[in-house]
Amino acid sequence: MQADDAVTTCRVMVGGPVVNAVAEATGLCRDYEGNRYWFCCAGCGPAFDADPAKYANAS
């Protein structure tokens, strides 16, 4: 696996797999307090924006 193929899970829809490079290419990511968060779909970005601390602290 290459670094561009890194996979994480969506913080908003917990368990939704996200390929980081794809999320970045399509604008499905946000930076918050020095960390980057990637999302599985277009609806997750606005939800994160509404309460970033809630989702950043979710495990």
Taking residue 18's Cβ as centre, other Cβ atoms within 10 Å add up to 23
Residue 15: what pLDDT? Answer: 83
pLDDT at 59 over 70: no
Q: What is the DSSP string of 4-50?
A: GG-EEE-TTTTT-EEEHHHHHHTT-EEEETTEEEE-SSTTHHHHHHH
Secondary structure class of 3 (helix, strand, coil):
helix
Residue 1: what pLDDT? Answer: 42
Domains of the chain, by residue range, sit at 3-56
- Report the mean per-residue pLDDT for the chain: 90
Q: Which has the higher per-residue pLDDT, 1 or 25?
A: 25
Mean pLDDT value across residues 30-45: 96
Mean pLDDT value across residues 2-16: 82
How far is it, in rounded angstroms, from Cα 53 to Cα 25? Answer: 24
